[in-house]
Structure 1
Amino acid sequence: NEAMEAGVVVSAAAGNDGPDNDGLSGMGSSSLSITVGATDDKNTIDRSDDTVASYSSRGERRDNGDGNPLNELKPEVSAPGTNIVQAEGCVTSGGCNNFIGGDAADNGYTGRGSGTSYAAPAVSGILAMMIEANPDLSTAEMKEILKLTAERRGEASAPDVDPFWNRDFGWGMVDAYEAVNLALYLGQQNLTGSVDVFSQVHITNSSVNASTGLHEIRGLAWGQAGSISAVEYRIDDGAWMEATYETVEGGLAALERFEWVIALDAGQLAEGNRTVEIRGLNNEGTPSLPVFTSLLGTMDGQANGGALGVDLVTLSAFLVLLILLGLLVQGARIDPPQQLGSVQETGAVDAVLVTEEAPLETQPKKAGKRKKS
């Protein structure tokens, strides 16, 4: 715990006591560290057949009495820990599997071992890559990124506390690619150190609604400490817009969840893959870690641009036609235009309308005298 608080990120082995352990122990029971369970990859590269290792210690951790049910959810993540190839430095005689004599310069990597102590170093390696991608990450941000980007496995073991944590896998099997990508993104968007790691926004489904034809993205949001006041989304770095959800007067307490939905018309989105970024905002407006999904836009931008061009040409032709008609009407006048003549006299100017039948008089009219009262 002290190392994490000092800025040194720690991944600790959950232990090898299997499913019937007494609630974790040692460094694996640390509240702040990243506790790692082990999986068995069945010696294949296909993750779909991976299972929790039979020996991996399961959660929850024993209650430490601090009133916070979240830190009993151990392990946080799981990683390959079964039949792991290892290096053996055999420089003297002994029981090394790959001992070939000499100074060990030609020794290979033929030894294998199993245990959560093999899984934890894999997570340490991922953390090292995250730090290289974004050196300014806090230990809490690194821990939350690993949890958020992990591949979920198993049913929720403590649904009243968290809808995704599982006692075998934690929040899932670590995903190095997604974890490093999110670390990079926080740095690129200047969000490092500015997110609320206790605000939770998760996608539960992203698919087309057969009734409406709209692409619906659904999810859950809640605060582990405090509450979330809004869920927002944007498409391809566009303007932020608010998702749809039912508001609760007075807000929600910590750990109280609500559902949100975003409905998008793919026909109104530019053709190609569109990225949708979603975040929650706490009561102070601080964003959560973002989550992402994508959908295929089907609007043909060139076709719409062409249609707009035809409309402009048509409008221009119509305006030219109106001008020509105006000129024709002007040239077809029978009566000559009337002239506006003026008569000036000291101190007054009168205007009279004259025609050819009533020519302008050569002498100006005298102004009438006003009677004095």
Structure 2
Amino acid sequence: MQTVSGPVNVGLSYDGRITDSNRFDLALLGHEIHLEIPSVDAVLIGDVDASEVYGLSQLDGVVMVERYGFVVFYGDVQTPAVKARNSTEYPVGAWDLGVSGHGVNIALTDTGVDNEHPGLSGKFVAGYDAVCYVHTDPSCLLSNPLREDDGSFDPDDGNQHGTACMGMASSTGLEADGSQSEYYGSAPNASLVDVRIGTDVGAGPFENYLLEQEFYESAMNGLQWIIDHRDDAWPGVDEANHGIDIISLSWGITSHENGGSDGTDMHSRILDDAMLAGVAVSNAAGNDGPDNDGLSGMSASSLSVTVAATDDLNTVNRSDDSIASYSSRGPRKDNGDGNPLNELIPEVSAPGTNIVQAEGCVTSGGCNNFLGGDASGNTYTGRGSGTSYATPSVTGVIALVIEANGNLTPLQVKEVLKQTAERRGEPSAPEVDPYWNRDFGWGMVDARAAVALALHLAQTDQTDSVDVSLQNHLLSVADSNGTINVTGHAWGQLGSIERVEFRIDGGDWREATYSAEPGEIGALTPFMWHVILDSVKLSEG
């Protein structure tokens, strides 16, 4: 309806029964409900000005704004917006480079996943119910006291949160009738390790106030299980899908007192351990913006990829995207280690506002919190917002990067995402890093650019040359009358610069001549470098 102007007749579809709150929202905007249609959870409000349609689409619970005789869905733009899938706006996406997440396992650590959903069918390779191994939850013991811890148990989702997140990471977009929808995840061929840390009564992150102790314990239990089983050969699974490659966390541990966490809490540290153990971590920044006082535990992890959320305004075009009002801002509270770089959180940002979800069994009413059910007939309904929903999109991008270059370490994957992100906002800490912004991190994640860089490193055998303690940004390449001028911006994060070297097309490293004496360029001291090349000699080899 973006091209419509003037008066237009519309109806609104909701993600559940129409409530008094929904009616009040419409009345507050001056709209009268002409007809309620309970069988499809919709209302018809008739004549509105087309300029009001976007505002109506943002109302709580609205999943569709429908012109009489014409339907517009909102939420199927996340994957093309991160440039994983191609689009008319961005004709070449990461998938066009030959990757889709194949052979990459995502440990979705959440409320469980209803992987019978048509868009998630066939993805399960292993699972673990962390809740049933930490306390005395009676529903666990009554429903099934023998939940294996060897990866063979398949948890269900009694909340919807986990199913939604896995859909955003790796849904194939398939419907129950075999037809293809537009609701793909970033890495549609990635596989699932389902680690359930939500309570057995379905409480999701930040909802478990009655069983707070159990949730905290189950969270740590689940993460430790992932680290302990990261290299396991799952029974009945092809070798390509052994182990665990990525942890996706769309929740956090509240710790905002006195400026929030400084990354030394146990929840943040276990994520650091996972990164160092070879498991990449994609982690939500939190939904406490814009005036949050620091960051929560886990989002304050020094090493993981912490993700902020943008509002894509329901368009694939990134030019109109802004930081979501709720997205927690950086930096992190100083941990006093003398390294200001690890306070620069978040790392990257991605669309997280009004994202359509893969529908879990509990959402459709096909099961309840105590009895699992079958989500194989479910579709993609309801919308959600939060860094919870930005994070799995980045998780999928990480899966694409890992498929492109399996030799990258988690810290190198993080550098690839930072280097290729689309810069947004003014620098918030230019004395430390001239590209980091407290809202967007190093920018909006760019799946195509990240995969292209990962492939280039693999194809030129340069993966080992990625030094996460150095920053080097190519600024310009200009060809003038056969002379090629290459300009860049670089600095060291730790220690002083000893020399500047370059090489061409994988050839020998050559030391550049520069004016500063060795040792004069200290840590966090940016400098410009220039390389002048003769194109004639280059063509001659």
The number of residue pairs the alignment matches comes to: 264
Aligned to 1:172: 443
Deviations 1:180-237 (CA, angstroms, capped at 9, x unpaired): 222233333333345321111112334467xx89553322111101233344444545
Deviations 1:20-71 (CA, angstroms, capped at 9, x unpaired): 1011112101111111101111111211211111111111111112221011
For the residues of structure 2 that align with 1:10 and 1:176, how far apart are their CA atoms? Answer: 16
Aligned to 2:359: 88
For the residues of structure 1 that align with 2:505 and 2:276, how far apart are their CA atoms? Answer: 36
Q: 1:4 is paired with a residue of what secondary structure?
A: helix
Describe the shift of the 1:179–1:52 C-alpha distance in structure 2 as closer, same or farther (beyond 3 A): same
Aligned to 1:189: 460
For the residues of structure 2 that align with 1:266 and 1:232, how far apart are their CA atoms? Answer: 19
For the residues of structure 2 that align with 1:149 and 1:128, how far apart are their CA atoms? Answer: 16
CA contact (8 A) 2:460 2:506 kept: no
What's the CA shift for 1:254?
0.9
The aligned amino acid for 1:80 is: P
For the residues of structure 2 that align with 1:206 and 1:215, how far apart are their CA atoms? Answer: 7
For the residues of structure 2 that align with 1:36 and 1:7, how far apart are their CA atoms? Answer: 19
Describe the shift of the 1:154–1:206 C-alpha distance in structure 2 as closer, same or farther (beyond 3 A): farther
Taking the TM superposition and a 5 Å limit, the aligned residue runs for 1:114-129 are 114-129=385-400
Structure 2: segments with no counterpart, 5+ residues: 1-271, 368-372
The aligned amino acid for 2:279 is: V
For the residues of structure 2 that align with 1:16 and 1:247, how far apart are their CA atoms? Answer: 45
TM-score (norm 2): 0.45
Describe the shift of the 1:185–1:252 C-alpha distance in structure 2 as closer, same or farther (beyond 3 A): same
Of 242-251 and 44-53, the range deviating more from structure 2: 242-251
- 2:491 is the counterpart of 1:226: no
For the residues of structure 2 that align with 1:149 and 1:176, how far apart are their CA atoms? Answer: 8
Aligned to 1:77: 348
CA contact (8 A) 1:245 1:259 kept: no
The aligned amino acid for 1:48 is: S
Taking the TM superposition and a 5 Å limit, the aligned residue runs for 1:80-159 are 80-90=351-361, 94=365, 104-159=375-430
For the residues of structure 1 that align with 2:510 and 2:528, how far apart are their CA atoms? Answer: 17
What's the CA shift for 1:136?
2.5
For the residues of structure 1 that align with 2:498 and 2:356, how far apart are their CA atoms? Answer: 48
What's the CA shift for 1:76?
0.7
For the residues of structure 1 that align with 2:334 and 2:519, how far apart are their CA atoms? Answer: 31
What's the CA shift for 1:167?
0.5
Q: 1:260 is paired with a residue of what secondary structure?
A: strand
Aligned to 2:475: 204
Q: 2:402 is paired with a residue of what secondary structure?
A: helix
What's the CA shift for 1:115?
0.4
The aligned amino acid for 1:255 is: L
Q: 1:19 is paired with a residue of what secondary structure?
A: coil
Q: 1:10 is paired with a residue of what secondary structure?
A: strand
Q: 1:66 is paired with a residue of what secondary structure?
A: coil
TM-score (norm 1): 0.63
What's the CA shift for 1:17?
0.9
For the residues of structure 2 that align with 1:222 and 1:269, how far apart are their CA atoms? Answer: 28
The aligned amino acid for 1:154 is: G
The aligned amino acid for 2:339 is: N
Describe the shift of the 1:215–1:62 C-alpha distance in structure 2 as closer, same or farther (beyond 3 A): same
Q: 1:229 is paired with a residue of what secondary structure?
A: coil
Aligned to 2:273: 2
CA contact (8 A) 1:85 1:112 kept: yes
Describe the shift of the 1:108–1:69 C-alpha distance in structure 2 as closer, same or farther (beyond 3 A): same
CA contact (8 A) 1:157 1:166 kept: yes
Structure 1: segments with no counterpart, 5+ residues: 97-101, 271-300, 302-373
For the residues of structure 1 that align with 2:366 and 2:317, how far apart are their CA atoms? Answer: 33
- 2:512 is the counterpart of 1:253: no
CA contact (8 A) 1:152 1:171 kept: yes
What's the CA shift for 1:123?
1.3
Describe the shift of the 1:240–1:136 C-alpha distance in structure 2 as closer, same or farther (beyond 3 A): closer
Describe the shift of the 1:46–1:231 C-alpha distance in structure 2 as closer, same or farther (beyond 3 A): farther
The aligned amino acid for 1:22 is: D
Work out which of the two has the higher radius of gyration on C-alpha atoms and give 1 or 2. 1
CA contact (8 A) 2:290 2:329 kept: yes
What's the CA shift for 1:155?
1.1
What's the CA shift for 1:14?
0.3
What's the CA shift for 1:134?
2.3
The aligned amino acid for 1:85 is: V
For the residues of structure 2 that align with 1:25 and 1:242, how far apart are their CA atoms? Answer: 44
Which of 201, 208, 216 is matched with 2:485 structurally? 216
Task: Indicate the structure whose relative CO is greater, using CA pairs within 8 Å and at least 6 residues apart.
Answer: 2
What's the CA shift for 1:105?
3.7
Q: 2:403 is paired with a residue of what secondary structure?
A: helix
Q: Which structure is higher in strand share?
A: 1
For the residues of structure 1 that align with 2:509 and 2:464, how far apart are their CA atoms? Answer: 21
Deviations 1:144-165 (CA, angstroms, capped at 9, x unpaired): 1111111111111001111111
The aligned amino acid for 1:8 is: V
For the residues of structure 1 that align with 2:321 and 2:436, how far apart are their CA atoms? Answer: 17
Aligned to 2:315: 44
Taking the TM superposition and a 5 Å limit, the aligned residue runs for 1:297-308 are none
Aligned to 1:163: 434
Deviations 1:112-169 (CA, angstroms, capped at 9, x unpaired): 2110011111111111222222222212111111111111111110011111111011
The aligned amino acid for 2:516 is: T
- 2:288 is the counterpart of 1:17: yes
Q: 1:70 is paired with a residue of what secondary structure?
A: helix
The aligned amino acid for 1:217 is: V
The aligned amino acid for 1:148 is: Q
Q: 2:380 is paired with a residue of what secondary structure?
A: coil
